[in-house]
Amino acid sequence: MRDVVLVGGGVMGCLSALELLQAGCRVTLLERGELGREASWAGGGIVSPLYPWRYCDAVSALSDWSQGYYPALAEALLEQTGLDPEVHSCGLLWLDHDEQELALSWAGAHAKPLRSVDADFIYQQVPQLAAGFRGALWQLGLANVRNPRLMQSLRARLVQFDEFTLHEHCAVESLLRDGDAVLGVDCAVGRIEADAVVLCAGAWSGDWLAQVGLNLPVEPVKGQMLLYKMAPGWLPSIVMAQGRYAIPRRDGHILIGSTLEYEGYDKRTTEQALASLQASAEALLPALAAQAPVAQWAGLRPGSPDGVPYIGPLSAMPGLWLNTGHFRNGLVLAPASCRLLTDLMLGRTPDIDPAPYLPDTRLN
């Protein structure tokens, strides 16, 4: 396989492009808007599912691989581009959680350094927390990545390759086909022939495939976020309670998230979400009540059943591949997903068992 067209310029498209380029392929990346400006820009960037013990082994396998890969990826991107993705190993506190037995059992099975801690530990670790928390789960070293900067550095790295072509503001109009076989795409810049076309269009993937008569259960799920600004280091670790989180960036910005809304492709922010997120922020970190949020935004996640992505070829349309449907965990699952996709496309033995993600066994 030599020439590959990727449809969608989020983290899946960009990391898939990088993997394929490093393997010697020619890659054309088509993005209907601006590179990395949808869910990959809007998310929080925790390098873990929010409650990892609630997920199936298929999600855990991708997450585990990616968590080990992110530090080296960030180091390489910084060296190659001068742009730091800021993988910040700050640890995470799950506060007053009622699933400790389940979580600790999961941690033991997956060799995760998760442990139960008491109130003394909690307030030594994060003195800014609201009073009254009695216990928590703590994972040392769990990281967050500053996803907008990750996307900037990925873009800068990709354009260094002579065999990479990027077309932004370039919607794909149709697939080039010979019978069922996919031979490329027809898009705003014309016909582009390829050995393979990879759909990594996030929340738009389900509707995109519906146009060619395939049912892919991926739909947009809106999430709204708030951003505060405090002094660098003011919040030492990620904290979570009742499904809401506060994520510290190295420069003192703090992300508060997020909502989960089934509103189609509506990305408008709302006063209701603002009030709800502010209430969560102040319940966790009372000092934020004296601060006005500096930004509010929304993004569209690619919702899928059980959050298990679709990765691999579609035998009904030879030449068409999928890497989509990562729901709330796109950033944490991306390195493993894109490595797995590349392994399958190039006939290499994959590090991760591909069976749980193959579209042919999961789509009607």
Over residues 102-115, the mean pLDDT reads 94
Identify the DSSP state of 360. G
Tokens of 216: 């892919």
Q: What angle do CA 181, 187, 191 make, to 5 degrees?
A: 60
Is pTM beyond 0.75? Reply is yes
Over residues 317-322, the mean pLDDT reads 98
The whole-number pLDDT of residue 98 equals 87
- Contact status, residue 258 vs residue 225, Cβ threshold 8 Å: yes
- Contact status, residue 227 vs residue 255, Cβ threshold 8 Å: yes
- Contact status, residue 297 vs residue 19, Cβ threshold 8 Å: no
Q: Percent of the chain scored above 70 by pLDDT?
A: 99
Over residues 8-18, the mean pLDDT reads 98
Residue 128 has pLDDT above 70, yes or no: yes
Domains of the chain, earliest start first: 3-53+149-217+305-361 (3.50.50.60), 92-140 (no CATH), 219-303 (3.30.9.10)
The whole-number pLDDT of residue 364 equals 66
Over residues 307-316, the mean pLDDT reads 96
d(CA 272, CA 284): 19
Nearest to 287 by CA among 249, 252, 244: 252
Q: How many CB atoms lie within 10 A of CB 161?
A: 16
pLDDT in tens, 246-289: 999 999 999 999 999 999 999 999 999 999 999 999 999 999 99
Pairing of strands 190-193, 114-118: unpaired
The whole-number pLDDT of residue 96 equals 81
Over residues 44-49, the mean pLDDT reads 96
The whole-number pLDDT of residue 97 equals 80
pLDDT in tens, 173-198: 999 999 999 999 999 999 999 999 99
